[in-house]
């Protein structure tokens, strides 16, 4: 019985971590259904008309849905229609070049991949369209065409699928221009509710539940969701937002979410402090549990209500509930949420013509390209890296005569990123997802022997692929492999599904390995290696926040929030820099351990500063402690040695201090000893 209870608790803990790592709330069921309908329709036509080339139309429909950019109908038309034209023309030319020889095919594919990598200078939507178009070129290059052969009709079927998905997305399956922005703001409030709920009842959890790690993941989700919501709101066209109350409502909700984020960050830090009394922890848990419920209700109203003042009652409840912690924490922690409707004044756009707009856009884009055509440009080096890696992958799969070699080439194009850390993470996720997806495809191939059944099975596979793409790249790759295997069965009936599945999975691994080697050795973009300077900046920022917290009577609330935000940002930047330098192999084990210790102590100093700021029992200056803080700050401002550090540590306050301030002194001693170790 004890064993079953332990296994159940372990499974529940693993499930909780998995849900936090992969937030399923971000899954887009609408996009998945649209892509599944578009691709399955083409595959059903393939079955009914006995025309294998309709499998190319299914591929075109799926990739067109993948290239859809959120925003207005005009932006979506540009992205989907532009992708259809570029991929068809580029893929056809690449297929004709491949028909002339492997060398010509490699050169044409290198040109497409290089332009796709360089197109990141025009933003993520343009870069996504170009990268997907280059991936289509790699697929068509594996099916070379010749004018003499006469078998070159599949680009027309492919373009038919692209056009079908575009028409379906803009007519029968339209997406409201404000729908992506509303969904993004909704995700923000759901992430905030998760952040409020994850800290509650930490003492009752198992030791395997690392609360600090889970909280850090939740905070990252909140930051990412806020950044995405800001991008979605900015992307909306000006003529649609000038007089729309819904747009103003979303702006206010996002501004309120940023206030709530800061409040929850402070409260969760105080909740995790070991110096809190059990009664205080119980009260904080009650408030956090109530806030989580209110935030979830607000997230539902974002989707259902359009009135600007639809959640005024919930905002008032949020304010009253947050104020319950004010007497306990000195009255400085009440969440002030304004429900005032803010008007926006927009300037009327100057009248223009279509020809002048095209001329101005072409001139502007040409100037941007000229600015980046140099070896110092990251995008320029990334374009060269994409071209070289793609050409290398194409030559390898053709020299070794690997079946379905376009999967390796396409994986190289889609995986490679400007930075080493991003490429490494994406290559591992795609390799793992492709291998698991290959197993799923093998099982389907052994169980399914009817073309109609395979066409019907494509619907849930494409649905899961597109719906889970915002959740995780690994889950996206997991369902992408069996989807393409099912489509390939129509293009080449009678082939061995088991061999097809494992060949594609193996080629994905090869493509990921080539992308990883290319990003390491072909004009790599490495982070600045001045880690010591970043550590000094981080330590000084946390010391400044601690100094401001000790003298909070003379500092305004805005100044305190600015100090805390600066310290938290530098802590996060140092953590990211540490991870990237570790992936690049630039840190020894001892150096990495030292930096991790310094980062942990700096975060504890920030938490202690927050505690001092909001706890009335620790209010007021301690002259001896403040003077010692100034000495330590001067120590980190200059190049010192272990002897000078020991002299500064010897001047630590000797008077009796409160528990929080004593904790600060202990952490500072450890910090100095870690940065300036005694040589033996």
Q: Which pLDDT score, from 0 to 100, does residue 424 have?
A: 79
Task: Encode pLDDT of 2-44 as tens digits.
Answer: 455 555 555 556 656 666 667 777 777 778 888 888 888 888 8
Task: Encode pLDDT of 167-185 as tens digits.
Answer: 888 887 666 667 777 888 8
Q: What's the whole-model pTM score?
A: 0.71
Mean pLDDT of 254-279: 76
Q: Which pLDDT score, from 0 to 100, does residue 421 have?
A: 73
Q: How far apart are CA 277 and CA 587, in angstroms?
A: 40
Q: With residue 34 as reference, give the H or E element that holds it.
A: helix 29-49
Count of all residues that appear for the chain in the document: 680
Closest by CA to 269, choosing from 317, 215, 316, is 215
CB 426 within 8 A of CB 552: no
Lowest-confidence segment of 142-146, 226-230, 245-249 by average pLDDT: 245-249
The C-alpha angle 259, 261, 264, rounded to 5 degrees, equals 110
Residue 88 banded pLDDT, cuts 50, 70, 90: very high
Closest by CA to 426, choosing from 406, 411, 448, 444, is 411
Point out which residues pair with 525 in neighbouring strands.
419
User: Taking 60 as the threshold, does the pLDDT of residue 349 lie above it?
Assistant: no
CB 395 within 8 A of CB 106: yes
| Structural domain boundaries in the chain | 26-175, 176-325, 401-525, 531-675
CB 220 within 8 A of CB 55: no
Contacts for 212-219: CB closer than 8 Å, 24+ residues apart: 212/272, 214/16, 214/17, 214/20, 215/268, 215/272, 217/20, 217/21, 218/20, 218/191, 218/194, 219/195, 219/265
The CA distances from residue 102 to 254, 384, 391, 396, 407, in Å, are 53, 20, 10, 11, 17
Segments in 416-472 forming alpha helices (H): 420-447, 451-467
Q: Angle between the 245-272 and 179-198 helix axes, to the nearest 10 degrees? A: 20
Tokens of 675: 């940065």
The C-alpha angle 544, 216, 610, rounded to 5 degrees, equals 30
Task: Encode pLDDT of 311-346 as tens digits.
Answer: 677 777 777 777 776 555 544 455 654 443 334 443
DSSP 8-state code for residue 523: S
Contacts of 519 (CB under 8 A, 6+ apart): 385, 389, 416, 417, 419, 420, 423, 424, 525
Between 133 and 321, residue with greater pLDDT: 133
Mean pLDDT of 379-390: 89
Q: Which pLDDT score, from 0 to 100, does residue 304 have?
A: 63
Task: Encode pLDDT of 67-83 as tens digits.
Answer: 887 666 777 888 888 89
Residue 276 banded pLDDT, cuts 50, 70, 90: low
Q: How far apart are CA 323 and CA 416, in angstroms?
A: 49
Task: Encode pLDDT of 444-454 as tens digits.
Answer: 777 777 777 87
DSSP 8-state code for residue 525: B
The CA distances from residue 34 to 171, 440, 454, 476, in Å, are 12, 23, 19, 16
Mean pLDDT of 100-124: 89
């Amino acid at each position: 019985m004890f064993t079953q209870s332990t296994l159940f608790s372990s499974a529940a803990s693993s499930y909780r971590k998995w849900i936090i790592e992969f937030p399923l709330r971000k899954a887009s069921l609408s996009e998945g259904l649209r892509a599944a309908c578009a691709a399955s329709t083409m595959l059903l036509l393939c079955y009914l008309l006995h025309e294998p080339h309709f499998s190319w139309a299914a591929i075109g429909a799926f990739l067109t849905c993948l290239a859809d950019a959120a925003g207005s109908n005009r932006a979506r038309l540009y992205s989907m229609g532009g992708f259809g034209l570029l991929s068809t023309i580029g893929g056809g030319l690449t297929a004709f070049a491949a028909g002339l020889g492997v060398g010509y095919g490699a050169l044409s594919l290198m040109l497409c991949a290089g332009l796709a990598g360089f197109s990141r200078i025009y933003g993520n939507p343009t870069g996504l369209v170009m990268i997907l178009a280059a991936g289509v070129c790699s697929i068509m290059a594996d099916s070379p065409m010749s004018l003499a052969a006469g078998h070159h009709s599949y680009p027309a079927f492919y373009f038919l699928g692209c056009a079908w998905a575009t028409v379906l997305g803009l007519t029968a399956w339209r997406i409201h221009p404000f729908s992506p922005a509303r969904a993004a703001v909704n995700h923000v409030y759901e992430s905030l509710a998760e952040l409020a709920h994850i800290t509650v009842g930490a003492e009752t959890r198992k030791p395997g539940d690392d609360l600090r790690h889970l909280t850090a993941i939740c905070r990252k989700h909140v930051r990412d969701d806020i950044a995405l919501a800001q991008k979605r709101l900015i992307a909306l066209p000006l003529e649609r937002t000038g007089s729309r109350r819904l747009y103003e409502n979303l702006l206010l909700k996002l501004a309120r979410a940023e206030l709530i984020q800061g409040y929850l960050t402070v409260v969760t830090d105080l909740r995790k402090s070991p110096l809190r009394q059990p009664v205080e922890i119980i009260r904080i848990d009650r408030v956090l549990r109530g806030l989580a419920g209110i935030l979830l209700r607000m997230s539902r109203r974002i989707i259902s209500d359009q009135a600007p003042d639809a959640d005024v009652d919930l905002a008032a409840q949020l304010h009253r509930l947050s104020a319950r912690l004010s007497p306990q924490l000195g009255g400085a922690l009440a969440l002030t949420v304004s429900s005032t409707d803010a008007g926006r004044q927009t300037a009327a756009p100057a009248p223009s013509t279509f020809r002048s707009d095209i001329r101005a856009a072409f001139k502007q884009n040409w100037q941007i390209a000229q600015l980046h055509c140099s070896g110092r440009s990251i995008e320029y080096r990334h374009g060269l890296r994409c071209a070289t890696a793609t050409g290398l992958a194409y030559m390898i799969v053709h020299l070794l005569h690997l079946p379905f070699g376009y999967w390796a080439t396409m994986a190289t194009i889609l995986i490679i990123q400007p930075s080493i850390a991003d490429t490494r993470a994406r290559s591992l996720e795609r390799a793992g997802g492709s291998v698991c997806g290959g197993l799923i495809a093998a099982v389907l191939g052994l169980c399914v022997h009817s073309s109609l059944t395979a066409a019907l099975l494509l619907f849930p596979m494409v649905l899961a692929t597109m719906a889970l793409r915002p959740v995780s790249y690994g889950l996206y790759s997991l369902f992408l492999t069996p989807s393409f295997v099912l489509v390939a069965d129509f293009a080449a009936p009678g082939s061995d599904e088991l061999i097809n599945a494992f060949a594609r999975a193996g080629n994905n691994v090869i493509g990921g390995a080539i992308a990883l080697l290319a990003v390491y050795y072909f004009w790599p973009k490495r982070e600045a290696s001045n880690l010591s300077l970043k550590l000094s900046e981080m330590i000084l920022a946390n010391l400044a926040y601690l100094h401001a917290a000790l003298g909070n009577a003379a500092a305004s609330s805005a100044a305190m929030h600015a100090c805390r935000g600066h310290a938290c940002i530098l802590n996060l930047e140092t953590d990211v820099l540490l991870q990237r330098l570790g992936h690049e192999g630039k840190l020894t084990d001892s150096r990495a351990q030292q930096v991790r210790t310094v980062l942990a102590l700096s975060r504890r100093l920030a938490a202690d500063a927050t505690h001092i700021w909001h706890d009335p029992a620790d209010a007021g200056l301690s002259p001896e402690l403040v003077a010692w803080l100034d000495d330590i700050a001067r120590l980190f401002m200059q190049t010192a040695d272990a002897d000078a550090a020991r002299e500064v540590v010897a001047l630590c306050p000797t008077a009796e201090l409160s528990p929080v301030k004593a904790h600060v002194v202990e952490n500072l001693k450890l910090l100095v000893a870690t940065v300036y170790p005694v040589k033996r």
